[in-house]
Amino acid sequence: MSTPRRFPSVLATLGPAVLAIIATLLGAIVSGRFQERAAERSVRVSHGESIRRDRLEAVTALACAASDHRRALWMRGDAVLKNTDDVGMKPAHYAVHVEARRKDNTGRILLRLGPYTQTWLASRDAERLNTLLEGRATTVMPGYTVTAKDTAFHVSDHASYSDPHEADACELLAALLKDVSAPW
């Protein structure tokens, strides 16, 4: 007599279990992919919102700056038409410093010119002084480089400044260069 086989009964029991496991795994993979796509979509949306918000802030800032600029031009034009000096803003003050610097960036200010009420006047005088120093900036004082630069006028040091409207900046520099041989 032959013994009954148990194989078909084991297969009948394991088949649906294996199929259930495979279906669960496939369901988890599909569900994970849907969640991943949803997360990517939400990141794209939030990134788009932040870009839109940044652009809106930039346009708003530009509009405010343009409005302020127009207001300043309007006030200036109105003051010119009324022939008045007070335009509702403090005048800016600029200066020119002639400096002697070592290679290690130490040094001192040799000449201070100011105040200038317009930056282009200070820049012009600094250019004139640098042109006068051209080719001699490193030989005027051995070990130093002498240059002129436009900068802000320091009201607290007003006594140490020479008035550029009373004397020519190039003449003041020439007089300074004659006296520069004195030891520091």
CA gap 82, 95 in Å, rounded: 29
Tokens 């009964």 appear where?
Answer: 9
Distance between CA atoms of 39 and 126, rounded to whole angstroms? 60
What are the tens digits of pLDDT across the range 112-135?
999 998 888 999 999 999 998 887
- Per the CB < 8 A criterion, the answer to whether 127 and 96 are in contact is no
* 3-class secondary structure, 112: strand
Single pTM value for the model: 0.50
Q: How far apart, in whole angstroms, are the C-alpha atoms of residue 173 and residue 167?
A: 10
d(CA 72, CA 87): 9
pLDDT tens digits, one per residue of 72-102? 888 877 776 776 555 555 666 899 999 999 9
Q: So where are the chain's domains? A: 1-89, 94-179
